[in-house]
Amino acid sequence: MLIPYEKPFAEFLRFISDTYAKAEYPEAYIPYIAHKATAGYVLEKYFPELLSEFSRRNGEFVYAISEPGWKNSPLNMKSELRKKNDGTFELYANKGFVLDADLGVFAVKHESEFALVIVDTDYYRNSRVALEMPEATYKVGPDKSITHYRCEFTATLDIVPFRKISKRDILLISRTVVFREQVAYAVLAAAEAAKHHDMAGLKSRVDLLCQRAKEEPGHDDIAVAREILSAAIVRILAQPNAHGFWKWLGRFVKPD
């Protein structure tokens, strides 16, 4: 199935709402959202020349920012891009929650501020370690699953597509991608809960979110998203076979 990654965020949300109920592999929608909400946003904002490649690869770019011990703040990152005397670059990366994909956008320190670096996952594919957690793996096909990994590596890069960004920008990016994920997962949660419960009372809230969601959601969108998540997740977790992702997501939402 072709995912409409090239569409505006609101249209992508409508796609989730309209197609999820009949999905053969519903777990696949979790990484679909991760690709669109995180890597897709960063590419659109900082690497627009790569958007056609993003679509051609059906969204399989990842955004790597979380690190062991970073306490959910990019200001605590240890990963770094350094320019060497011979003109090449050395990338040290230690990332803790990275989806499998061909290419990644790595957030790292650079000089006195930060950078976003496009990284071929071949640099760490042989040394990565799968996260053995129930919320970290998703079945996306008859014989295919996508999982999260942790990776730590140092690589010398001759050609480095990267963008310098300020401390302010890395903080804004971090907030925006979290907001985008929360909004999209709210739409997904409503669709998942509707498989076993009457969620008609939330339909107008989901429709509102799909209609007005901006590329950079604001606090008004988040308020609606959390309302939906609170109502939906408690119902999802009442099912004995609920995917571990929902329990993980439920830690960030106070159920009604």
| pLDDT confidence bin for 2, thresholds 50/70/90 | confident
Q: Which CATH class is domain 37-161?
A: mainly beta
In this prediction, residues 82-88 reach a mean pLDDT of: 91
The pair of structure tokens assigned to 167 is 């401390």
Residue spans in the chain of domains classed CATH 2.40.110.20:
37-161
Give the Cα-Cα-Cα angle 4, 149, 151 (nearest 5 degrees).
120
pLDDT in tens, 16-47: 999 999 999 999 999 999 999 999 999 999 99
What's residue 256's pLDDT? 46
> Global pTM?
0.93
What's residue 179's pLDDT? 95
| pLDDT confidence bin for 254, thresholds 50/70/90 | low
pLDDT in tens, 92-102: 999 999 999 98
Strand ranges, E, within the chain: 61-64, 80-83, 89-99, 103-110, 113-120, 129-130, 137-141, 144-157, 162-165
Q: State yes or no: pLDDT of 60 exceeds 90.
A: no
What's residue 253's pLDDT? 76
pLDDT in tens, 178-196: 999 999 999 999 999 999 9
What's residue 130's pLDDT? 95
Tokens 């062991």 belong to which residue?
Answer: 68
Q: How many CB atoms within 10 Å of residue 130?
A: 12
What's residue 94's pLDDT? 97
pLDDT in tens, 99-116: 999 899 999 999 999 999
